[in-house]
Structure 1
Amino acid sequence: MPDTVYSFCRDEDGAITIDWVVLTAALLGVTYLASSLIGTGTMSLRDEISIAIDNHTVGGNF
């Protein structure tokens, strides 16, 4: 029985799977953070452009 537990603890077959799961989760977290920051900045810029267009008057003489 102790030999089985020792060999199980020394086995590294599934270690690469855990590495990929952690790396993928980190990549998804960074992607979500970046997209939320870009989305917030884009909405702010959209609001500023909308206000500028609303305040602009177009003359009747072309």
Structure 2
Amino acid sequence: MLRRLLSPHEIATLLLLLHAPVAAFAKPELPSLYEAGLVETVATDAGESHIRLTPEGNAILRGLGIK
């Protein structure tokens, strides 16, 4: 369970990830989203790392009425 409010930048990052996993990139919001269990890194068949929402991240967006 999330025990703090998300910043507007963290919510924007979740929205970005809602539509598709993206290649790993340096965003200052990612460490806190990882720590909260809202995003995860996955490897593609080509060996690239992508970041995607976890079920908890999807639940946050559903709670906001976005999904």
TM, length-normalised to structure 2: 0.21
Q: 1 or 2, which has the higher strand percentage?
A: 2
Q: 1 or 2, which has the higher helix percentage?
A: 1
Higher RCO (C-alpha under 8 Å, 6+ residues apart): 2
